[in-house]
Amino acid sequence: MKRRNFIKKTAKGVALAGLGGFVTQSASGEIPSNVSNKAKFTLKYAPTLGMFNEHAGKDPIDNLKFIADQGFRAAYDLGLIGRPSAEQEKIANEANRLGLELGQFSLKTAGGVHFVLNDPESKLLIREKMLAGLEVQKRTGINKGLIVLGNCDPKLHSEYQTANVIENLRMCCDIVGPYGLELVMEPLNTFINHPGVFLTRTTQAKVICVAVNHPCCKMVNDLYHQQVTEGNLIANLEMCWDYIGSIHIGDNPGRNEPTTGEINFKTIFNFLHQRKYNEVISCEHGKSKPGKEGEMAIINAYREVDPA
């Protein structure tokens, strides 16, 4: 066997638990019951509560335990607002016990076009969602809510739509601002996943943040969406830095874990570490391989790109 192949195969099964290395796994992708990887990641990567169902099952509490046991420092559940109140509290309490920070939950309104409109029905829907978000904040202590501005209205000039978005966001900030709930709006790509959405670029999001002029109005930089839409990822992070309330990750193409596409996450995460970024980084992606093997590939990918 060639020396480099021998080294590669040997390294794959080596456990560096406690030293920030790769997680030991069997050929089937099982994690031995006596092995945990307590070495904490440098950055706050946050898997979803369904990312490791093959290993942890579907119970959110078991998922939190597994996430913490693999060295992650955060977790998130965009659909938290739709869970029963008692379950929300249970998740928050367990995350606190495990030392996990919970990232943002979704405040997405039902339907397609709301934020770009200036009519009573749209404003009522938006207001109701903000009030529901405050209830989740009260039960869980999570202080970030994700908002999606919805689709464009082809009957309105884009400038009028932008003006309506600004006014609607000011209304939202007036509602949630006194309670410290930060709203992070997410630009999405129209080429692959979300045709017809209004907010697509970091430049557009920054203009809106500046116009709203409220400390609770921030933006998401989803590196997957922005690689599809505009590229130039680090430069755009720098240009929007003061208004970035959340970062989402997924590689492109494929929207799977880091190292599976064209984005150099090692360089990006080193940049974030150098800038002392200490917010939750949402792992908003799938897995490149099925089953337990795919879940282990996710964990090991983050070990590979995490700053030392």
Reply yes or no on whether the pLDDT at 305 is more than 60: yes
Lowest mean pLDDT among 4-13, 84-93, 206-215, 231-240: 4-13
Domains of the chain: total: 1
Q: Does residue 263 lie in a domain region?
A: yes
Q: Does residue 205 lie in a domain region?
A: yes
Q: Does residue 23 lie in a domain region?
A: no
Domain ranges, residue 166: 41-305
Q: What is the pTM of this model?
A: 0.89
**Contact between 101 and 280 (Cβ < 8 Å):** yes
Print the SS3 string covering 108-167. Answer: CCCCCECCCCCCHHHHHHHHHHHHHHHHHHHHHCCCEEEECCEECCCCCCHHHHHHHHHH
Of the two residues 140 and 14, the one the predictor is more confident about is 140
Q: Does residue 181 lie in a domain region?
A: yes
Please report the pLDDT score of residue 69 as a whole number.
96
Q: Does residue 213 lie in a domain region?
A: yes
Of the two residues 31 and 214, the one the predictor is more confident about is 214
Reply yes or no on whether the pLDDT at 117 is more than 80: yes
Reply yes or no on whether the pLDDT at 5 is more than 90: no
Please report the pLDDT score of residue 11 as a whole number.
38
Burial tier of 11 (Cβ tally within 10 Å: 0-12, 13-18, 19+): exposed
Residue 192 CA to residue 180 CA, distance in Å, equals 34
- The closest alpha carbon to 246, from 216, 210, 218, 206, belongs to 218
Q: Does residue 28 lie in a domain region?
A: no
**Contact between 184 and 147 (Cβ < 8 Å):** yes
What is the CATH number for 133?
3.20.20.150
Q: Does residue 266 lie in a domain region?
A: yes
Please report the pLDDT score of residue 113 as a whole number.
73
Q: If you average pLDDT over residues 89-100, what whole number do you get?
A: 98
